[in-house]
Structure 1
Protein backbone atom coordinates (compact mmCIF):
# COMPACT_ATOMS: atom_id res chain seq x y z
CA UNK A 1 0.00 0.00 0.00
CA UNK A 2 2.80 2.40 0.92
CA UNK A 3 4.57 1.76 -2.40
CA UNK A 4 1.38 2.53 -4.40
CA UNK A 5 0.80 5.73 -2.41
CA UNK A 6 4.37 6.93 -3.00
CA UNK A 7 4.06 6.07 -6.69
CA UNK A 8 0.78 8.00 -6.92
CA UNK A 9 2.32 11.03 -5.23
CA UNK A 10 5.32 10.90 -7.58
CA UNK A 11 2.99 10.72 -10.58
CA UNK A 12 0.95 13.70 -9.39
CA UNK A 13 4.16 15.69 -8.93
CA UNK A 14 5.31 14.71 -12.41
CA UNK A 15 2.00 15.91 -13.90
CA UNK A 16 2.20 19.33 -12.30
CA UNK A 17 5.94 19.83 -12.81
CA UNK A 18 5.95 19.63 -16.59
CA UNK A 19 4.05 21.52 -19.21
CA UNK A 20 3.20 20.45 -22.72
CA UNK A 21 5.40 21.95 -25.44
CA UNK A 22 3.92 22.40 -28.93
CA UNK A 23 6.47 24.87 -30.30
CA UNK A 24 8.12 22.67 -32.90
CA UNK A 25 8.00 24.84 -36.01
CA UNK A 26 9.45 22.07 -38.18
CA UNK A 27 6.70 19.58 -37.31
CA UNK A 28 3.21 20.10 -38.68
CA UNK A 29 0.30 19.28 -36.36
CA UNK A 30 -0.87 15.73 -37.00
CA UNK A 31 -4.14 15.60 -35.06
CA UNK A 32 -7.13 17.56 -36.29
CA UNK A 33 -9.27 18.30 -33.21
CA UNK A 34 -12.24 19.00 -35.50
CA UNK A 35 -12.42 15.27 -36.25
CA UNK A 36 -13.06 14.47 -32.58
CA UNK A 37 -16.42 15.05 -30.91
CA UNK A 38 -16.54 15.47 -27.12
CA UNK A 39 -19.49 13.50 -25.79
CA UNK A 40 -21.29 14.27 -22.53
CA UNK A 41 -20.64 10.77 -21.19
CA UNK A 42 -16.84 11.15 -20.93
CA UNK A 43 -16.09 9.67 -24.32
CA UNK A 44 -14.65 11.12 -27.52
CA UNK A 45 -15.88 10.15 -30.99
CA UNK A 46 -13.09 9.82 -33.54
CA UNK A 47 -15.05 10.32 -36.77
CA UNK A 48 -12.03 9.82 -39.03
CA UNK A 49 -11.22 6.35 -37.70
CA UNK A 50 -14.68 5.23 -36.57
CA UNK A 51 -13.62 4.78 -32.94
CA UNK A 52 -15.00 5.82 -29.59
CA UNK A 53 -12.29 6.67 -27.04
CA UNK A 54 -12.41 7.18 -23.33
CA UNK A 55 -11.60 10.84 -22.76
CA UNK A 56 -9.44 9.98 -19.75
CA UNK A 57 -6.87 7.33 -18.99
CA UNK A 58 -8.17 4.37 -17.00
CA UNK A 59 -8.31 5.33 -13.33
CA UNK A 60 -9.26 8.94 -14.03
CA UNK A 61 -12.79 10.32 -14.09
CA UNK A 62 -14.06 12.64 -16.81
CA UNK A 63 -15.24 16.05 -15.59
CA UNK A 64 -16.35 19.20 -17.38
CA UNK A 65 -12.89 20.67 -16.78
CA UNK A 66 -10.94 17.59 -17.92
CA UNK A 67 -9.97 14.46 -16.01
CA UNK A 68 -9.64 14.08 -12.27
CA UNK A 69 -7.77 11.52 -10.26
CA UNK A 70 -4.58 9.60 -10.83
CA UNK A 71 -4.44 7.23 -13.80
CA UNK A 72 -3.80 3.58 -13.00
CA UNK A 73 -0.53 2.02 -14.10
CA UNK A 74 -0.06 -1.56 -15.21
CA UNK A 75 3.29 -3.34 -14.99
CA UNK A 76 2.48 -6.09 -17.47
CA UNK A 77 0.54 -6.43 -20.69
CA UNK A 78 -1.51 -9.19 -19.07
CA UNK A 79 -2.53 -6.81 -16.27
CA UNK A 80 -3.60 -4.22 -18.86
CA UNK A 81 -5.68 -6.76 -20.80
CA UNK A 82 -7.28 -7.98 -17.55
CA UNK A 83 -8.09 -4.39 -16.54
CA UNK A 84 -9.99 -3.86 -19.80
CA UNK A 85 -11.94 -7.07 -19.19
CA UNK A 86 -12.64 -6.05 -15.60
CA UNK A 87 -13.90 -2.64 -16.76
CA UNK A 88 -16.38 -4.36 -19.06
CA UNK A 89 -17.46 -6.78 -16.32
CA UNK A 90 -17.88 -4.00 -13.75
CA UNK A 91 -20.05 -2.05 -16.16
CA UNK A 92 -22.03 -5.07 -17.48
CA UNK A 93 -20.96 -4.34 -21.05
CA UNK A 94 -21.46 -6.84 -23.84
CA UNK A 95 -21.00 -7.03 -27.60
CA UNK A 96 -20.34 -3.72 -29.35
CA UNK A 97 -20.33 -1.89 -26.01
CA UNK A 98 -17.18 -3.69 -24.82
CA UNK A 99 -14.04 -1.59 -24.38
CA UNK A 100 -10.57 -2.86 -25.31
CA UNK A 101 -6.96 -1.83 -25.63
CA UNK A 102 -6.33 -0.08 -28.96
CA UNK A 103 -3.98 -1.66 -31.47
CA UNK A 104 -0.76 0.15 -32.36
CA UNK A 105 -2.26 1.90 -35.43
CA UNK A 106 -5.29 3.11 -33.49
CA UNK A 107 -3.22 4.51 -30.63
CA UNK A 108 -0.77 6.09 -33.09
CA UNK A 109 -3.70 7.93 -34.68
CA UNK A 110 -4.19 10.06 -31.54
CA UNK A 111 -0.51 10.99 -31.17
CA UNK A 112 0.23 14.68 -31.77
CA UNK A 113 3.77 14.64 -33.17
CA UNK A 114 4.07 18.45 -32.94
CA UNK A 115 3.90 18.28 -29.14
CA UNK A 116 5.84 16.67 -26.33
CA UNK A 117 5.13 16.10 -22.66
CA UNK A 118 2.55 14.82 -23.59
CA UNK A 119 2.36 14.14 -27.34
CA UNK A 120 -1.41 14.41 -27.62
CA UNK A 121 -3.98 17.17 -28.17
CA UNK A 122 -4.93 18.10 -24.62
CA UNK A 123 -8.12 19.82 -25.79
CA UNK A 124 -9.35 16.41 -26.97
CA UNK A 125 -7.71 14.20 -24.32
CA UNK A 126 -7.10 16.43 -21.27
CA UNK A 127 -4.81 15.52 -18.41
CA UNK A 128 -3.08 12.73 -20.33
CA UNK A 129 0.00 11.71 -18.37
CA UNK A 130 3.50 11.84 -19.78
CA UNK A 131 4.19 8.17 -20.11
CA UNK A 132 3.83 4.92 -21.93
CA UNK A 133 0.53 3.39 -23.01
CA UNK A 134 -0.14 -0.27 -23.71
CA UNK A 135 -1.62 -1.45 -27.01
CA UNK A 136 -3.18 -4.77 -27.95
CA UNK A 137 -0.53 -5.36 -30.64
CA UNK A 138 1.98 -8.05 -29.67
CA UNK A 139 5.70 -7.45 -30.05
CA UNK A 140 7.57 -9.46 -32.65
CA UNK A 141 8.14 -12.84 -31.09
CA UNK A 142 4.97 -12.55 -29.00
CA UNK A 143 6.60 -11.55 -25.70
CA UNK A 144 4.63 -8.56 -24.48
CA UNK A 145 2.98 -5.79 -26.45
CA UNK A 146 3.94 -2.71 -28.39
CA UNK A 147 3.87 0.54 -26.41
CA UNK A 148 3.69 4.24 -27.31
CA UNK A 149 5.36 6.77 -25.04
CA UNK A 150 3.24 9.93 -25.02
CA UNK A 151 6.10 11.87 -23.46
CA UNK A 152 7.84 12.09 -26.83
CA UNK A 153 5.59 10.26 -29.35
CA UNK A 154 7.91 7.29 -29.68
CA UNK A 155 7.12 3.63 -29.90
CA UNK A 156 9.30 2.01 -27.27
CA UNK A 157 10.47 -1.52 -26.77
CA UNK A 158 12.57 -1.01 -23.65
CA UNK A 159 11.52 -2.54 -20.38
CA UNK A 160 13.21 0.07 -18.17
CA UNK A 161 9.97 1.59 -16.90
CA UNK A 162 7.40 -1.12 -16.36
CA UNK A 163 4.50 1.14 -15.35
CA UNK A 164 2.27 1.88 -18.30
CA UNK A 165 -1.18 3.42 -18.68
CA UNK A 166 -4.15 2.45 -20.81
CA UNK A 167 -6.80 4.38 -22.70
CA UNK A 168 -9.66 2.16 -23.82
CA UNK A 169 -11.42 2.30 -27.16
CA UNK A 170 -14.18 0.55 -29.07
CA UNK A 171 -15.81 0.82 -32.47
CA UNK A 172 -18.03 3.84 -32.95
CA UNK A 173 -21.58 2.54 -33.29
CA UNK A 174 -23.70 4.00 -36.01
Structure 2
Protein backbone atom coordinates (compact mmCIF):
# COMPACT_ATOMS: atom_id res chain seq x y z
CA UNK A 1 0.00 0.00 0.00
CA UNK A 2 2.81 2.39 0.96
CA UNK A 3 4.59 1.65 -2.33
CA UNK A 4 1.40 2.37 -4.25
CA UNK A 5 0.94 5.74 -2.52
CA UNK A 6 4.60 6.64 -3.08
CA UNK A 7 4.28 5.74 -6.74
CA UNK A 8 1.14 7.86 -7.07
CA UNK A 9 2.85 10.87 -5.47
CA UNK A 10 5.86 10.52 -7.76
CA UNK A 11 3.58 10.31 -10.78
CA UNK A 12 1.80 13.53 -9.79
CA UNK A 13 5.10 15.33 -9.14
CA UNK A 14 6.55 14.18 -12.46
CA UNK A 15 3.44 15.40 -14.23
CA UNK A 16 3.66 18.82 -12.59
CA UNK A 17 7.39 19.43 -13.12
CA UNK A 18 7.20 19.91 -16.92
CA UNK A 19 4.33 22.39 -16.52
CA UNK A 20 6.23 24.38 -13.89
CA UNK A 21 9.39 24.32 -16.00
CA UNK A 22 7.42 25.48 -19.03
CA UNK A 23 6.03 28.45 -17.11
CA UNK A 24 9.49 29.30 -15.75
CA UNK A 25 10.96 29.24 -19.26
CA UNK A 26 8.32 31.49 -20.80
CA UNK A 27 10.10 34.22 -22.76
CA UNK A 28 9.88 37.75 -21.46
CA UNK A 29 9.01 39.31 -24.83
CA UNK A 30 6.07 38.04 -26.84
CA UNK A 31 6.08 39.09 -30.54
CA UNK A 32 2.61 39.92 -31.85
CA UNK A 33 3.12 40.87 -35.49
CA UNK A 34 4.20 44.51 -35.63
CA UNK A 35 4.14 44.73 -31.83
CA UNK A 36 6.12 43.19 -28.98
CA UNK A 37 4.56 42.63 -25.56
CA UNK A 38 6.84 42.74 -22.50
CA UNK A 39 5.54 40.31 -19.87
CA UNK A 40 7.76 41.85 -17.19
CA UNK A 41 6.57 45.46 -17.47
CA UNK A 42 3.21 45.01 -19.17
CA UNK A 43 4.30 47.43 -21.90
CA UNK A 44 3.61 46.90 -25.60
CA UNK A 45 6.25 48.24 -28.00
CA UNK A 46 6.24 49.00 -31.69
CA UNK A 47 8.56 46.48 -33.27
CA UNK A 48 9.89 48.88 -35.91
CA UNK A 49 11.24 52.37 -35.51
CA UNK A 50 8.61 54.93 -36.48
CA UNK A 51 8.57 55.42 -40.25
CA UNK A 52 9.27 51.75 -40.97
CA UNK A 53 6.74 48.94 -41.43
CA UNK A 54 6.85 45.33 -40.27
CA UNK A 55 6.79 42.92 -43.23
CA UNK A 56 6.66 39.56 -41.47
CA UNK A 57 10.40 39.08 -41.00
CA UNK A 58 11.91 42.55 -41.15
CA UNK A 59 11.24 46.27 -40.94
CA UNK A 60 10.98 47.85 -44.41
CA UNK A 61 11.43 51.48 -45.31
CA UNK A 62 13.43 54.14 -43.50
CA UNK A 63 13.01 55.50 -40.00
CA UNK A 64 11.78 59.08 -39.79
CA UNK A 65 13.81 61.54 -37.70
CA UNK A 66 11.87 64.06 -35.61
CA UNK A 67 12.53 67.02 -33.38
CA UNK A 68 11.42 66.41 -29.80
CA UNK A 69 8.49 68.82 -30.04
CA UNK A 70 7.15 67.01 -33.10
CA UNK A 71 7.82 63.59 -31.54
CA UNK A 72 5.66 64.57 -28.57
CA UNK A 73 2.66 65.06 -30.90
CA UNK A 74 2.81 61.49 -32.26
CA UNK A 75 0.35 60.15 -29.69
CA UNK A 76 -2.33 58.03 -31.37
CA UNK A 77 -4.48 55.05 -30.44
CA UNK A 78 -2.76 54.80 -27.07
CA UNK A 79 0.79 54.95 -28.48
CA UNK A 80 3.13 57.54 -26.95
CA UNK A 81 6.76 58.46 -26.38
CA UNK A 82 8.34 56.26 -23.69
CA UNK A 83 9.95 57.63 -20.56
CA UNK A 84 13.69 57.12 -20.13
CA UNK A 85 13.06 54.38 -17.56
CA UNK A 86 10.83 52.56 -20.04
CA UNK A 87 13.41 52.79 -22.84
CA UNK A 88 16.06 51.33 -20.55
CA UNK A 89 13.90 48.24 -19.93
CA UNK A 90 14.62 47.17 -23.54
CA UNK A 91 18.24 46.53 -22.62
CA UNK A 92 18.78 42.76 -22.39
CA UNK A 93 20.82 42.12 -19.19
CA UNK A 94 22.02 38.71 -20.40
CA UNK A 95 23.32 40.10 -23.69
CA UNK A 96 24.95 42.96 -21.82
CA UNK A 97 26.60 40.57 -19.33
CA UNK A 98 27.96 38.46 -22.20
CA UNK A 99 29.06 41.62 -24.07
CA UNK A 100 26.90 40.73 -27.06
CA UNK A 101 26.64 43.66 -29.49
CA UNK A 102 24.14 45.24 -29.48
CA UNK A 103 22.52 44.71 -26.07
CA UNK A 104 19.01 44.80 -27.54
CA UNK A 105 17.48 41.76 -29.23
CA UNK A 106 17.52 42.70 -32.93
CA UNK A 107 15.29 39.76 -33.78
CA UNK A 108 12.52 41.42 -31.80
CA UNK A 109 13.58 45.01 -32.49
CA UNK A 110 15.41 45.20 -35.85
CA UNK A 111 18.18 47.72 -36.40
CA UNK A 112 16.70 50.87 -37.98
CA UNK A 113 17.50 52.16 -41.46
CA UNK A 114 17.86 55.93 -41.36
CA UNK A 115 18.57 58.49 -44.07
CA UNK A 116 19.73 61.81 -42.53
CA UNK A 117 18.48 65.03 -44.08
CA UNK A 118 21.02 67.34 -45.71
CA UNK A 119 19.83 70.45 -43.91
CA UNK A 120 19.81 68.98 -40.40
CA UNK A 121 22.21 66.24 -39.30
CA UNK A 122 20.68 63.33 -37.41
CA UNK A 123 22.01 62.36 -34.00
CA UNK A 124 21.76 58.69 -34.93
CA UNK A 125 20.78 56.26 -33.52
CA UNK A 126 19.46 58.09 -30.47
CA UNK A 127 15.83 57.51 -29.50
CA UNK A 128 13.78 60.29 -27.93
CA UNK A 129 12.31 59.84 -24.48
CA UNK A 130 9.41 61.91 -23.15
CA UNK A 131 11.56 63.37 -20.37
CA UNK A 132 12.62 67.02 -20.82
CA UNK A 133 15.68 68.63 -19.28
CA UNK A 134 17.47 71.95 -19.45
CA UNK A 135 20.87 70.50 -18.70
CA UNK A 136 22.48 71.20 -22.08
CA UNK A 137 23.16 73.96 -24.59
CA UNK A 138 20.19 74.71 -26.84
CA UNK A 139 20.41 77.34 -29.55
CA UNK A 140 16.66 77.88 -29.40
CA UNK A 141 16.84 78.13 -25.59
CA UNK A 142 13.87 75.79 -25.42
CA UNK A 143 15.75 73.20 -23.43
CA UNK A 144 16.61 69.59 -24.13
CA UNK A 145 15.29 66.06 -23.67
CA UNK A 146 16.87 62.76 -22.70
CA UNK A 147 17.76 60.23 -25.40
CA UNK A 148 19.09 56.66 -25.39
CA UNK A 149 21.20 54.86 -28.00
CA UNK A 150 19.51 51.45 -28.00
CA UNK A 151 22.06 49.92 -30.36
CA UNK A 152 25.37 51.09 -28.87
CA UNK A 153 28.00 48.52 -27.94
CA UNK A 154 27.31 49.04 -24.23
CA UNK A 155 23.68 50.07 -24.66
CA UNK A 156 24.01 52.54 -21.82
CA UNK A 157 24.62 55.60 -23.98
CA UNK A 158 22.31 58.04 -22.22
CA UNK A 159 22.54 61.67 -23.27
CA UNK A 160 20.41 64.73 -23.78
CA UNK A 161 19.85 66.62 -27.01
CA UNK A 162 18.44 70.07 -27.79
CA UNK A 163 14.75 69.84 -28.59
CA UNK A 164 15.44 71.15 -32.11
CA UNK A 165 17.86 68.27 -32.84
CA UNK A 166 16.77 65.21 -34.81
CA UNK A 167 16.42 61.73 -33.33
CA UNK A 168 14.29 58.67 -34.01
CA UNK A 169 11.28 57.25 -32.20
CA UNK A 170 9.94 53.91 -30.95
CA UNK A 171 6.47 54.31 -29.46
CA UNK A 172 5.04 52.36 -26.55
CA UNK A 173 1.53 51.64 -25.33
CA UNK A 174 0.55 52.71 -21.86
CA UNK A 175 0.88 50.03 -19.21
CA UNK A 176 -1.13 49.68 -16.00
CA UNK A 177 -0.26 52.25 -13.35
CA UNK A 178 1.56 49.60 -11.30
CA UNK A 179 4.10 48.97 -14.06
CA UNK A 180 7.57 50.56 -13.79
CA UNK A 181 8.12 53.88 -15.45
CA UNK A 182 4.50 54.56 -16.39
CA UNK A 183 3.89 58.27 -16.75
CA UNK A 184 0.30 59.42 -17.15
CA UNK A 185 0.67 63.18 -17.10
CA UNK A 186 -2.65 63.95 -18.73
CA UNK A 187 -3.54 66.31 -15.90
CA UNK A 188 -1.80 68.06 -13.06
CA UNK A 189 -3.34 65.60 -10.58
CA UNK A 190 -2.44 62.41 -12.46
CA UNK A 191 -0.04 59.95 -10.87
CA UNK A 192 3.18 58.71 -12.46
CA UNK A 193 4.76 55.57 -10.99
CA UNK A 194 8.49 54.90 -11.43
CA UNK A 195 9.51 51.39 -10.44
CA UNK A 196 8.55 50.36 -6.93
CA UNK A 197 9.93 53.46 -5.23
CA UNK A 198 8.75 56.82 -6.59
CA UNK A 199 5.21 58.09 -7.17
CA UNK A 200 4.84 61.53 -8.75
CA UNK A 201 1.77 63.74 -8.74
CA UNK A 202 2.12 67.23 -10.15
CA UNK A 203 5.15 68.92 -8.62
CA UNK A 204 5.54 66.38 -5.82
CA UNK A 205 7.32 63.03 -5.71
CA UNK A 206 6.59 60.55 -2.92
CA UNK A 207 9.50 58.30 -1.97
CA UNK A 208 7.81 55.11 -0.78
CA UNK A 209 11.07 53.91 0.74
CA UNK A 210 11.53 56.85 3.12
CA UNK A 211 8.02 58.34 3.25
CA UNK A 212 9.37 61.77 2.26
CA UNK A 213 7.74 64.05 -0.31
CA UNK A 214 10.06 65.97 -2.62
CA UNK A 215 9.63 68.87 -4.98
CA UNK A 216 9.79 67.36 -8.46
CA UNK A 217 11.29 70.46 -10.08
CA UNK A 218 14.13 72.66 -8.95
CA UNK A 219 13.03 75.60 -6.82
CA UNK A 220 12.34 78.47 -9.18
CA UNK A 221 10.63 76.24 -11.74
CA UNK A 222 6.97 75.30 -12.15
CA UNK A 223 5.52 71.92 -13.07
CA UNK A 224 3.14 71.93 -16.05
CA UNK A 225 1.33 68.78 -17.19
CA UNK A 226 2.58 67.68 -20.60
CA UNK A 227 5.53 70.10 -20.49
CA UNK A 228 7.40 69.07 -17.37
CA UNK A 229 9.47 71.62 -15.45
CA UNK A 230 9.17 75.07 -16.98
CA UNK A 231 11.03 78.24 -16.13
CA UNK A 232 14.60 78.67 -14.93
CA UNK A 233 16.08 77.08 -11.78
CA UNK A 234 17.21 79.52 -9.10
CA UNK A 235 20.53 79.26 -7.31
CA UNK A 236 20.69 80.38 -3.69
CA UNK A 237 23.17 81.23 -0.99
CA UNK A 238 22.53 79.12 2.08
CA UNK A 239 20.66 81.90 3.91
CA UNK A 240 18.43 82.57 0.90
CA UNK A 241 17.78 78.84 0.56
CA UNK A 242 16.69 78.63 4.19
CA UNK A 243 14.31 81.56 3.65
CA UNK A 244 12.84 79.90 0.53
CA UNK A 245 11.45 77.08 2.67
CA UNK A 246 7.96 77.36 4.10
CA UNK A 247 4.46 75.93 4.03
CA UNK A 248 5.74 72.63 5.40
CA UNK A 249 8.62 72.51 2.91
CA UNK A 250 12.16 72.55 4.32
CA UNK A 251 15.79 72.02 3.38
CA UNK A 252 16.65 68.31 3.42
CA UNK A 253 19.33 66.94 5.67
CA UNK A 254 22.46 65.48 4.11
CA UNK A 255 21.23 61.91 4.69
CA UNK A 256 17.80 62.68 3.23
CA UNK A 257 19.20 64.18 0.03
CA UNK A 258 21.83 61.45 -0.31
CA UNK A 259 18.99 58.90 -0.15
CA UNK A 260 18.05 60.03 -3.69
CA UNK A 261 21.48 59.08 -5.05
CA UNK A 262 21.28 55.93 -7.18
CA UNK A 263 24.68 54.91 -8.49
CA UNK A 264 24.72 53.81 -12.11
CA UNK A 265 21.84 56.03 -13.22
CA UNK A 266 22.31 59.09 -15.42
CA UNK A 267 23.40 61.86 -13.02
CA UNK A 268 23.01 59.27 -10.20
CA UNK A 269 19.34 60.16 -9.67
CA UNK A 270 16.07 58.92 -11.16
CA UNK A 271 15.76 61.58 -13.87
CA UNK A 272 12.28 60.38 -14.82
CA UNK A 273 10.93 61.17 -11.37
CA UNK A 274 13.16 64.22 -10.78
CA UNK A 275 13.37 66.36 -13.89
CA UNK A 276 15.86 69.04 -14.88
CA UNK A 277 18.85 67.94 -12.84
CA UNK A 278 21.63 69.82 -14.61
CA UNK A 279 24.92 68.23 -15.61
CA UNK A 280 26.95 71.38 -15.05
CA UNK A 281 25.30 72.83 -11.96
CA UNK A 282 23.67 70.01 -10.04
CA UNK A 283 24.90 70.71 -6.51
CA UNK A 284 22.07 71.08 -3.99
CA UNK A 285 21.97 72.55 -0.48
CA UNK A 286 21.29 70.49 2.63
CA UNK A 287 20.57 71.76 6.15
CA UNK A 288 23.42 69.77 7.71
CA UNK A 289 26.32 71.94 8.98
CA UNK A 290 29.86 70.97 8.06
CA UNK A 291 32.23 71.15 11.02
CA UNK A 292 35.60 72.06 9.63
CA UNK A 293 36.15 75.79 9.69
CA UNK A 294 34.20 78.73 8.38
CA UNK A 295 30.47 78.80 7.80
CA UNK A 296 29.86 75.74 5.66
CA UNK A 297 27.08 73.23 5.03
CA UNK A 298 26.97 69.89 3.28
CA UNK A 299 25.75 69.90 -0.31
CA UNK A 300 25.10 66.99 -2.68
CA UNK A 301 26.58 66.86 -6.17
CA UNK A 302 24.43 64.45 -8.20
CA UNK A 303 26.71 64.09 -11.27
CA UNK A 304 29.38 62.75 -8.87
CA UNK A 305 26.85 60.98 -6.66
CA UNK A 306 28.48 62.28 -3.49
CA UNK A 307 28.35 65.03 -0.87
CA UNK A 308 30.81 67.85 -0.24
CA UNK A 309 31.22 70.87 2.00
CA UNK A 310 30.04 74.17 0.53
CA UNK A 311 30.62 77.70 1.76
CA UNK A 312 27.37 79.38 2.82
CA UNK A 313 28.07 82.39 0.60
CA UNK A 314 28.20 80.31 -2.59
CA UNK A 315 25.14 79.65 -4.73
CA UNK A 316 23.63 76.20 -5.16
CA UNK A 317 20.42 74.65 -6.48
CA UNK A 318 17.57 73.78 -4.15
CA UNK A 319 15.12 70.89 -3.90
CA UNK A 320 12.87 71.13 -0.87
CA UNK A 321 11.32 68.23 1.03
CA UNK A 322 8.49 67.71 3.48
CA UNK A 323 7.41 64.89 5.70
CA UNK A 324 4.59 62.62 4.60
CA UNK A 325 1.22 63.87 5.83
Q: Same fold (TM over 0.5)?
A: yes
Distance in 1 between the 2:310 and 2:321 partners? 24
CA offset digits 1:67-101 (Å, max 9, x no partner): 11111001x211211121xxx2xxxx3xxxx1001
Structure 1 residue 135 and structure 2 residue 286: aligned? Answer: yes
Q: Which has the higher strand share?
A: 2
2:261 corresponds to which residue?
111
With the length of structure 1 as denominator, give the TM-score of the two structures: 0.69
State the Cα RMSD in Å.
2.7
Distance in 2 between the 1:43 and 1:16 partners? 24
CA offset digits 1:109-151 (Å, max 9, x no partner): 11122134x3211111011223210001111147221001112
Runs of 4+ with deviation above 4 angstroms: 18-22
Deviation at 1:168?
0.5
Change (3 A) 1:101 1:20: farther
1:121 corresponds to which residue?
270
Distance in 2 between the 1:155 and 1:72 partners? 20
Change (3 A) 1:73 1:81: same
2:232 corresponds to which residue?
70
With the length of structure 2 as denominator, give the TM-score of the two structures: 0.39
Which of 1 and 2 has greater Rg? Answer: 2
Q: Which has the higher contact order (CA 8 A, sep 6+)?
A: 1
8 A Cα contact 1:23 1:114, kept in partner: no
Q: Which has the higher helix share?
A: 1
Structure 2 runs not aligned, ≥5 long: 1-133, 138-143, 149-154, 158-193
8 A Cα contact 1:23 1:115, kept in partner: no
Deviation at 1:20?
8.5
Structure 1 runs not aligned, ≥5 long: 1-13, 25-31
Distance in 2 between the 1:20 and 1:150 partners? 19
